[in-house]
Amino acid sequence: MDHVESVSRVSAAVPLPAAKWKILGRWLQGIGLFLLAASSLGIRWHPKEFIHSWLFSFFFFFSLCAGALFWVLLHYVTNAGWGVVVRRQAENVASLFPWVALLFLPILWDAFSGHQLYEWTNPALAHDPALRAKSAYLNLPFFAIRALFFFAFWIVAARFLWNGSRLQDSDGDPWRTVRLQKFSYGLLVVYGACMTFAAIDWLMALDFRWGSTLWGGYVFVGAAGASLALWILLILWLRAMGYLPEANEEHLHLMGKLLFAFTALWGYFAFSQYMLIWYGNIPEETYFFIRRNFGSWNWFAIGLVVGRFFVPFLLLLPQATKRNPKTLGLAAGWVLFMQAAELYWLILPGVFVNAVAVGLLEILIWAGMGCLLAGAFLLRLVSCELYPRRDPRLRESLEVIS
Amino acid sequence: MAAVKETVGREGSGRAALARPALVLNEREASWVNDAVCSVVEQPAPFWWWLAVIAFGLLAGAVPLVVVYFISTGLGVWGLQSPVFWGIAILNFVFWIEIGHAGTLISAILLFTRQRWRNSVNRAAEAMTIFAVLCAAVFPLFHIGRQWMFWYMVPVPESYAVWQNFRGPLLWDEFAVGTYFTVSCLFWYFGLLPDIASLRDRTTKLWKKRLYHVLCWGWTGSVRVWHHYEAGYLCIAGVVSVLVISVASVVSTDFATTLVPGWHTTIFPPDFITGAIFSGFAMIVTLLVPLRAAYPRLKDMITPKHLDNMAKVLLATGSLVGYSYLIELFMAWYGANPFERYTFLNRITGPDRFTYFAMFGFNVILPQIFWFRRCRSHPWILWTASVLINVGMWFERYSIIVVSLERDFLPSSWRHYLPTWVDWGLFFGSVGLFFFLFLLFLRVLPALSIAEIKTLLGKPERKRHLETATKESAPNPGEQIYGLGAEFSSEEELRQASEETRKKGYVWWDAYAPYPIHGMERAMQLSKSRVSFFVLMGGLLGLVTGIAMVTATSIPRPQFLESFTTGQLQGLFYATVVQGKPYFSLPAFVPVLLELTILFAAFTAFLAVVLLSRLPRPYHPVWNWGELARRATNDGFFLVIEARDPLFSPTESRQFLESLGGRQITMISR
């Protein structure tokens, strides 16, 4: 019954300019590939900076995809109904994982032959006692196998969820939702493990001597929040263009509340990690922060505290700003920007040891990956419905009251 | 045709599998909810209650006996010996404080995540929180040794010109637990207001009526009050959500800020939170399953769906706790610090290894049975698992606290810790105290939240059968008229009537309902409640107060103050160096600042609701209408137009109310 109603409703929506966007998507992908190719010249002159900024951009876009997968999984695991109208866009973002996996290849290549990024991959350190103590985990074959497993899992899981939801558009079978829910419980468990060890492998192991038990949670919370911000921006954009009038203020309010919660959660995780290390004051731990609270990096760090926590927290505190597309969009865009800033602060001190610096390479690679993935997203967008039209929970979602 | 039928059947069965189950079974009415919940309080105590209360009361009696014994003898009678100076006293403190967390979590965080099933279990959970915190408070209070100097921990100006060290986690604990206790009590009491009014309107004894009347601040059920009340409830729930997270985190910092191997780990704050939710939910299940067995009528409100949900929470949090165990284990190995590695090896293979396996088995492996629906839906399987989970969580703290301390950095001082009968007496006494208090609570206050359950009853259009005959009760001559009241048969009718009344131009009128009705604000065009603004201001006041207090008592006296302030004020500055931390240590001040913000915000919320809705109301003329006085907190929906309204006229207003569908239209005397 629901889908009949919603079909009539959609006739009020502006149809997607599918043909135009297909061309636009291909163009964007072309531009992205060109930018990435151009930036790869940097390997020759600044190999270290190149691979660090590659990791920075890679991890930024990876965190958005991984976060989107989390939101889809969470939707099913919590038996949620409110998000049906907006869920498809998260599924679309998550389904870009094959592209993200491709973007990982240079990092893998560097681990095996460049040794510019991860110090532990350097054969010169093979006899370092600190490394030998953990070489059962930090060794190249295992590193590659893990990465392979993570990506295989993410690609398959994201594809499975996207496909199940898309097939429901055509046959409207409610059992698909039941099955997706059943699988999601197990998938979320594996997802948690993958996310934790990906965060350890790709970010924490930048410095193999340093470790923090909260690291996986910290990286995950940041990723989920940033991905949520992207999700909000996508919904706002589709809504503003009139393609998705079904997403109303109630949905914005709910997503705004979630963004608020994840802003607070990020603040909590980041503070817990920082405070305990600062308080304990053991040299083997604190130097992680000392490196990043040094010179202009210190101002950067203070800016992160203000920008990543206080600004969105205060912005999203009143009810009105969460319901207003303009202020919500502002907050979401800001959170997305801050996610990039945070990753910059985590990764780039490896190159720019003494002071904050932004170079052409960082911008080129980031823009290149962004164009490539934005193009892929556009192609994905026109390949399926804008929202799950025949989801059994659609009515609940359309009528939700925040 | 057959294929079509099959797909329809498939569609239907799929939708049935996804249907949201009713949260109150058997199509119960609002008045039934009142009867079912209040009868637990009102009817004479059953035999088992006396039996249980005597048994647990005797057990609780161990607490004062043991306390008198060790205060008069000295703390040496505890099993504490070097190097284990934190034995099961702090263990029990952590155990109880974390059990309390699920109550606040259900009340606050599940409210925000729109888990409506919480409405049926939150009251019992909140009560449990308070009793658990009380039990927890027993341990540090007596562990300090010189109990009469407890007040040294309270910042009192000019108390020997000595100030607390606000950078220390144990002082954060005091602020966190103190705030937690007061705010939890406040939140619990706040939620109780409408339900105490229900009790008041049901009771026939005058002294009880008076007592309840005072306790519920003269609750009328006015929709204008509900409007502020709901806003206040949300605000308190908001600050309480932060509070519940901060308290478990602060407790975890008692350990994590030290350098003891196995304690100094960054995952402790969130780990303690998941552990808290886990053990707290286990305790709620431990309490609720017997409760619904003892009072079968409650089974319609604490349904199998509730048990199923709680089992799922146990599964999720148990798995998260398992995640923490595993990641701690991994990082101890990965960190390659020999002390860390040894500590974990000792936990797993040392003399107390059974505590580690008990913790892992009961907390991580046991909850995995909840992947199966059969285990989730069977109350007594769930109950047994919950009891065992609580045992497992106790052993978790044993493994973290005692086993880490038994083998410190100096092998010659290693010693096996053995609690004495005094330790055990205090622990089992606290268990008795907890259940004893909960049993008392059952007989004194509504164990389920009546007003909130009524919002789960289902279709707002559902009508009550009302007598149509209007009683012609003309007021006696000479008696002043307060207004004209009418009853409506459903929530929906009341909403429409309110909208019409407002549109007609009436100003002095009000609606009365037993629970908050969605959409009433719009129907009555009530402006947004200002409670949230006051809460924000209160929170800021708390923050500023905290910053002033904590900063001044930690930094050296600024030079510029000396010229124009008195020595008294200058005496507040009390610079001490502790642990080589800077005087102004912002990261270490955050916990205290946060707690003070929450404390002030919560109290402002309560006060704002009380003042904005003019609540201490010893007398209200609407109570002269017996029907309203009896049923406004039960199942009646009323609308009263006051005589002072410019549009009021006894005949026209009566006709107007009749045209809206009002029944039993009555003149209410002043």
For residue B264, the chain A residues in CB contact (below 8 A) are: 276, 280, 282
Q: How far away is chain B from the Cα of A239, in angstroms, using its nearest Cα?
A: 25
Show the DSSP H helices in B203-222 as ranges. Answer: 206-215
CB distance A272–B269 less than 8 Å? yes
Please, which residues 365-394 of chain A have a Cβ atom closer than 8 Å to chain B? 392-393
Q: For B559-607, what is each residue's pLDDT tens digit?
A: 888 888 887 777 788 888 888 888 888 999 999 999 999 999 999 999 9
A278 closest CB neighbour out of B259, B264, B587? B587
B267 closest CB neighbour out of A217, A268, A278? A217
Number of H helices, E strands in chain A: 18, 0
Q: For B337-359, what is each residue's pLDDT tens digit?
A: 889 999 999 999 988 899 999 99
Q: Which pLDDT score, from 0 to 100, does residue B460 have?
A: 54
Q: How far away is chain A from the Cα of B132, in angstroms, using its nearest Cα?
A: 25
Q: Which pLDDT score, from 0 to 100, does residue B476 have?
A: 63
Q: For A253-309, what is each residue's pLDDT tens digit?
A: 999 999 999 999 999 999 999 999 999 889 889 999 998 988 899 999 999 999 999
Q: For B567-578, what is each residue's pLDDT tens digit?
A: 777 778 888 888
For residue B17, the chain A residues in CB contact (below 8 A) are: 174-175, 178
Give the residues across from B639 on adjacent strands. B486, B511
Chain B residues with a Cβ under 8 Å from any Cβ in chain A: 10-11, 13-15, 17-18, 20, 112, 114, 242, 245, 249, 253, 256-259, 264-270, 319, 323-324, 327-328, 331, 333-337, 371, 518, 579-580, 587-588, 590
Q: For A183-223, what is each residue's pLDDT tens digit?
A: 999 999 999 999 999 999 999 999 999 999 999 999 999 99
Q: How far away is chain A from the Cα of B305, in angstroms, using its nearest Cα?
A: 13
CB distance B266–A177 less than 8 Å? no
Q: For residue A190, give the DSSP letter.
A: H
Percent of chain A beyond pLDDT 90?
68
Q: Which pLDDT score, from 0 to 100, does residue B61 have?
A: 92
CB distance A213–B334 less than 8 Å? no
Asked whether the predicted pLDDT for residue B102 surpasses 60, the reply is: yes
Q: How far away is chain A from the Cα of B529, in angstroms, using its nearest Cα?
A: 12
Q: Tell whether the torsion through CA atoms of B607, B611, B617 and B620 is positive or negative.
A: negative
Environment class of B19 (CB within 10 Å of its CB; exposed 0-12, middle 13-18, buried 19+): exposed
B266 closest CB neighbour out of A134, A174, A214? A214
B331 closest CB neighbour out of A213, A264, A278? A213
CA distances from residue B571 to A185, B151, B155, B548, B566 in whole angstroms, order as listed: 59, 19, 14, 14, 9
Give the residues across from B642 on adjacent strands. B483
Q: Which pLDDT score, from 0 to 100, does residue A11 have?
A: 43
For residue B242, the chain A residues in CB contact (below 8 A) are: 264
Q: Which pLDDT score, from 0 to 100, does residue A9 have?
A: 47
CB distance B266–A185 less than 8 Å? no
Range in A5-9, A17-21, A46-50, A224-228 with the lowest mean pLDDT: A5-9
Asked whether the predicted pLDDT for residue A12 surpasses 80, the reply is: no
Q: Tell whether the torsion through CA atoms of B577, B581, B582 and B584 is positive or negative.
A: negative
At A4, is the pLDDT very low, low, confident or very high (cuts 50, 70, 90)? very low
Q: For B451-460, what is each residue's pLDDT tens digit?
A: 888 888 866 5
For residue A309, the chain B residues in CB contact (below 8 A) are: none
The C-alpha angle with vertex A241 and arms to A238 and A242, in degrees rounded to 5, equals 85
B114 Cβ neighbours under 8 A, 6+ residues apart: A82
CB distance B15–A214 less than 8 Å? no
Q: For A218-259, what is each residue's pLDDT tens digit?
A: 999 999 999 999 999 999 999 998 888 888 888 999 999 999
Asked whether the predicted pLDDT for residue B552 surpasses 70, the reply is: yes
State how far the Cα of B266 lies from the Cα of A217, in Å rounded to an integer.
10
For residue B588, the chain A residues in CB contact (below 8 A) are: 275, 279
Q: How far away is chain A from the Cα of B13, in angstroms, using its nearest Cα?
A: 8
CB distance B257–A280 less than 8 Å? yes
Q: What token pair was written down for B410?
A: 């100096």
Residue-averaged pLDDT of chain A: 90
Asked whether the predicted pLDDT for residue B485 surpasses 60, the reply is: yes
CB distance B266–A284 less than 8 Å? no
Q: Does A399 touch chain B (CB under 8 A)?
A: no
CB distance A175–B17 less than 8 Å? yes
Q: Which pLDDT score, from 0 to 100, does residue B137 have?
A: 87
* Closest Cα in chain B to A190: B323
For residues B366-392, average pLDDT: 92
Q: For A94-132, what is each residue's pLDDT tens digit?
A: 999 999 999 999 999 999 988 889 999 988 888 888 899
CB distance A174–B11 less than 8 Å? yes
Mutate to test the interface with A, among B253, B319, B334 (most CBs of A within 10 A): B334
pTM of the shown model: 0.92
Q: Which pLDDT score, from 0 to 100, does residue B6 have?
A: 60
CB distance A173–B112 less than 8 Å? no
Asked whether the predicted pLDDT for residue A1 surpasses 90, the reply is: no
* Closest Cα in chain B to A258: B113
Please, which residues 226-265 of chain A have a Cβ atom closer than 8 Å to chain B? 257, 261, 264
CB distance B14–A178 less than 8 Å? yes
User: Looking at beta carbons, which pairs linking B171-176 to residues 24 or more positions away fall under 8 Å?
Assistant: B171/B592, B172/B250, B172/B253, B172/B591, B172/B592, B172/B595, B173/B140, B173/B250, B173/B251, B173/B254, B175/B250, B175/B591, B175/B592, B175/B595, B175/B596, B176/B246, B176/B247, B176/B250, B176/B251, B176/B591, B176/B595
Q: How far away is chain A from the Cα of B265, in angstroms, using its nearest Cα?
A: 6
For residues B375-393, average pLDDT: 92
Question: Pick from B468, B505, B509, B506: which is nearest to B488 by CA?
Answer: B468
Question: Pick from A351, A27, A236, A390: which is nearest to B18 by CA?
Answer: A390
If you search the block for the tokens 């808290």, which residue do you land on? B276
The larger pLDDT score, comparing residue A64 to residue B572, is at A64
Query: Can the peptide bond before residue B304 be classed as cis, meaning omega within 30 degrees of 0?
Result: no
Q: Does A274 touch chain B (CB under 8 A)?
A: yes
The larger pLDDT score, comparing residue B30 to residue B3, is at B30
B670 three-class SS: coil
B588 closest CB neighbour out of A216, A261, A279? A279
Q: Which pLDDT score, from 0 to 100, does residue A43 have?
A: 85
For residue B319, the chain A residues in CB contact (below 8 A) are: 189
Q: For B44-91, what is each residue's pLDDT tens digit?
A: 889 999 999 999 999 999 999 998 998 888 888 888 888 888 888 889
Q: What token pair was written down for A247?
A: 């997403």
Q: How far away is chain A from the Cα of B422, in angstroms, using its nearest Cα?
A: 34
Size of interface A-B (CB pairs under 8 A): 104
At A5, is the pLDDT very low, low, confident or very high (cuts 50, 70, 90)? very low
State how far the Cα of B398 lies from the Cα of B90, in Å rounded to an integer.
10
For residues B289-293, average pLDDT: 92
The C-alpha angle with vertex A233 and arms to A230 and A237, in degrees rounded to 5, equals 140
State how far the Cα of B591 lies from the Cα of B572, in Å rounded to an integer.
21
* Closest Cα in chain B to A209: B335
At B144, is the pLDDT very low, low, confident or very high (cuts 50, 70, 90)? confident
Please, which residues 52-81 of chain A have a Cβ atom closer than 8 Å to chain B? 81
Helix, strand, coil fractions of chain B, as percent rounded to 5: 65, 5, 30
CB distance A185–B264 less than 8 Å? no
For residue A401, the chain B residues in CB contact (below 8 A) are: 518
The enclosing H or E element of B481 equals strand B481-488
Q: Which pLDDT score, from 0 to 100, does residue B5 have?
A: 55
CB distance A130–B336 less than 8 Å? yes
For residues B623-635, average pLDDT: 85
For residues B241-245, average pLDDT: 90
